[in-house]
Structure 1
Amino acid sequence: MSRTLVLASHNANKLVELRAVLEPLIPGIELVGYDGPEPVEDGLSFEANALLKARAAAAHTGLPALADDSGIAVEVLGGSPGIFSARWGGHARDDRANVKLLLEQLSDIAEEHRAAGFVCAAALVTPEGHEVCELGVWQGSLLTEAVGENGFGYDPIFMPEGERRSAAEMRPEEKNLVSHRTRAFTQLAPAIAELLGE
């Protein structure tokens, strides 16, 4: 059986990160990028949107598809930006605009009330319609300014629990051990291995 799966994302950073997470868990897996149309993400949860993307990629390519939907959930904002994280600062999916707006919204919030978590739903969908979805959460708090050059998205303002650095100050291999995406896909790995006949 082919060990090739497609990652339903046009984000090259995500493909690199996910390969680093999955290859040690499932040796020999081949994860390829997706160049097909993106579905409208009109789900009302991370899980719903991850499944939408995986279904579209599986249907377009004929390969088993992996997808994730992730974002940051801020406690004092009732879980927002949540599923709207990628376009929080506007429709352009501009990381800097998203971070800037979120920092402005929290400018008067004391440190002890800045709890947040990165959330990731990881989905596996086969062309035959088999579906599995797992959720991973990386808890922490939000800084008052962006720090660090690694990572992407909200990494520069997120300080994980037990850390004195932002996620953007962590080396990629450090982040890959503990991130929300790692947690979700680690939980999904047994279903992927079973699909591949392991």
Structure 2
Amino acid sequence: MKILIATGNSNKFKELMAILPVKTKNGTPIEYVSLADFKGLTLPPETGLTLEDNAEIKAVYASRQTGLPAISDDTGLEVKFLNGAPGVHTARYAGEHADTDDNNRKLLSALEGQLLPQRGASFRTVACLATPQGCVQTFEGSLDGYIGFGYRGENGFGYDPLFLVGDSKRTLAELTETEKNKISHRARAFEKLAERLILLKPQK
């Protein structure tokens, strides 16, 4: 059975492959494919007002276009001092065409002068599973921590080098892949989705 992970981000695809099941409950092998396997298929703009909206927009579109069950997600970094920003605009925090470094620099600038207690933040992921039959389900996972004062660590992507995990002194980018997949917001959301995924039946 094929499942489409609706992302063009190779880092995210690799991360999810380490979390998702390789077989359904009845023993049917699951093969995961990405957008790279469908030339010309691009996801619609993330125009939703919430993480849930964006995750659903992508998964439903991908499933309809390919005829496969599709899974997608949207993740928001919510910083208390910034009243929950960047939130749903996390990936585009520094502008529509900004890259990761642009986003990270803007976040550090916005928190300049704030001590660690004022830099509390949460990562929140909403994962969505959409099937060609019209079933749509969402699953949420979160991780609390703080925004550090600079880049640390070589692993992960996005805001990982800035995000101090819980009360620890390590960023997400300083964790090994195994350590991250045990606690991350994305892992927690997709572990819940995986419980539903193993119940899927192959299409006839």
Once the two structures are TM-superposed, the CA of residue 163 in structure 1 deviates from its matched residue by 2.2
CA distance in 2, matches of 1:193, 1:23: 7
- Is this contact kept in 2: 1:6–1:32, CA < 8 A? yes
Please tell me the residue identity of whatever aligns with 1:18: L
Provide the secondary structure at the position in 2 that maps to 1:150.
Answer: coil
Q: Give 2:32's aligned residue.
A: 31
1:179 aligns with 2:184: yes
Question: Structure 1 runs of 4+ off > 4 angstroms?
Answer: 24-27
- Is this contact kept in 1: 2:23–2:30, CA < 8 A? no
CA distance in 2, matches of 1:58, 1:97: 32
Measured against aligned partners, the alpha-carbon deviations of 1:46-105 in whole angstroms (never above 9, x if no partner) come to: 111000000111011100000000121111111110111111112224000000000000
Identity %: 39
Provide the secondary structure at the position in 1 that maps to 2:123.
Answer: strand
Q: Mean alpha-carbon deviation: is it higher for 188-197 or for 172-181?
A: 188-197
1:62 aligns with 2:67: yes
Measured against aligned partners, the alpha-carbon deviations of 1:146-175 in whole angstroms (never above 9, x if no partner) come to: 111111000000011142211111111111
Q: Give 1:11's aligned residue.
A: 9
CA distance in 2, matches of 1:188, 1:195: 11
Q: Give 1:79's aligned residue.
A: 84
- Is this contact kept in 2: 1:25–1:189, CA < 8 A? no
Once the two structures are TM-superposed, the CA of residue 30 in structure 1 deviates from its matched residue by 1.7
- Is this contact kept in 1: 2:22–2:31, CA < 8 A? no
Provide the secondary structure at the position in 1 that maps to 2:161.
Answer: helix
Once the two structures are TM-superposed, the CA of residue 137 in structure 1 deviates from its matched residue by 0.4
Q: Give 1:127's aligned residue.
A: 132
1:97 aligns with 2:98: no
- Is this contact kept in 2: 1:132–1:191, CA < 8 A? no
CA distance in 1, matches of 2:94, 2:153: 20
Match of 1:110 among 108, 115, 118: 115
CA distance in 1, matches of 2:42, 2:187: 26
CA distance in 2, matches of 1:96, 1:87: 11
Measured against aligned partners, the alpha-carbon deviations of 1:117-169 in whole angstroms (never above 9, x if no partner) come to: 11100000001110100111011111011111111000000011142211111
Once the two structures are TM-superposed, the CA of residue 14 in structure 1 deviates from its matched residue by 0.7
Provide the secondary structure at the position in 1 that maps to 2:124.
Answer: strand
- Structure 2: gaps (5+ residues): none
- Is this contact kept in 2: 1:7–1:31, CA < 8 A? yes
Please tell me the residue identity of whatever aligns with 1:187: K
CA distance in 2, matches of 1:181, 1:88: 19
Alignment TM-score, normalising by the size of structure 1: 0.93
- Structure 1: gaps (5+ residues): none
Q: How does 1:151-190 map to 2 (within 5 A)?
A: 151-190=156-195
RMSD of aligned residue pairs (Cα, Å) = 1.6
CA distance in 2, matches of 1:169, 1:55: 34
CA distance in 1, matches of 2:83, 2:167: 23
Once the two structures are TM-superposed, the CA of residue 196 in structure 1 deviates from its matched residue by 3.5
Please tell me the residue identity of whatever aligns with 2:34: G
For these two proteins, the number of residue pairs brought into alignment is 195
- Is this contact kept in 2: 1:149–1:156, CA < 8 A? yes
